[in-house]
Chains A and B, each alone.
Chain A
């Protein structure tokens, strides 16, 4: 059984650019959630996708968007990058949208300069 994987591991972007982060869910999981973790803080919920549709969203602006594909892999897109977007981005998959047993990937470290 393959765990949750994320790519890339690290990324450096310039303010104003756009970025796409990728996540491959654990086998059999149809729900994926994305979190942003600033240095020294706990992860903050961005949004959740269930069966390819957005199923819930945290307090993040529309320039944070996502996609979930039929194989339940997922993307997080961030437009017009700001310096404060520098963080660790985590995706987590779960068996269904009600499950709080979420399995996290190792994260993508994004640095915006």
Chain B
């Protein structure tokens, strides 16, 4: 599996867009990019995933560069409840679906 690199922490003002970067320069053609987040004292929560194209859902948008070596998770209007650790995970679909979590990015949204 491709290794991912994320900044350890980021700050964002409430109401502004939060842009969380992830580098995955060794990604291969059949590997997907997944984003999860973990709010304090809760289990991780699935946010979004993508292969090549940009994706959007009710929670966030995922922008993947054309060479697929990096991606950005965008929370368009961050709220205090978005304060969490955000994990970028790269995986190929195999016989079983294991999520390999790194240390992620701690996003702090402030008033």
Task: Give CA–CA (A42, B101) in the complex, Å.
Answer: 5
A102 at the interface (CB under 8 A from B): yes
Interface size on A, residues (CB 8 A): 29
Q: Of B9-17, B20-28, B42-50, B68-76, which stretch is located at the interface?
A: B42-50
Taken residue by residue from 85 to 108, chain B's Cβ proximity to chain A (1 for < 8 Å, 0 otherwise) reads as 101010101111111111110000
Q: Is the CB of A55 within 8 A of B96?
A: yes
Interface size class on chain B is: 20 to 34
Q: Does A56 contact B (CB under 8 A)?
A: yes
Contact with B along A15-44 (1 / 0, CB 8 A): 000000000000000010101000011111
Known contacts A102-B46, A103-B46, A106-B42; is-contact A43 B99 (Cβ 8 Å): yes
B59 to chain A, nearest CB (A): 13
**Which A87-104 residues have a C-beta within 8 angstroms of B?**
90, 92, 94, 97-104
The answer to whether B101 touches A33, judged by C-beta atoms less than 8 angstroms apart, is: no
A74 at the interface (CB under 8 A from B): no
Residue from A40, A41, A99, A104 with most neighbouring chain B CB atoms (10 Å): A104
Q: CA separation between A35 and B91, bound complex, in Å?
A: 17
Knowing A106-B42, A106-B43 are in contact, say whether A42-B93 is a contact too (CB < 8 A): no
Contact A102 B96 (CB under 8 A): no
B86 to chain A, nearest CB (A): 11
| Residues of chain A within 8 A of B95, CB atoms compared | 55-56, 97-98
Using CB atoms and an 8 Å cutoff, list the residues of chain A in contact with chain B. Answer: 4, 31, 33, 35, 40-45, 48, 50, 55-56, 58, 90, 92, 94, 97-107
Q: Which 4 A-B pairs have the closest CB atoms?
A: A42-B101, A104-B43, A56-B96, A45-B98
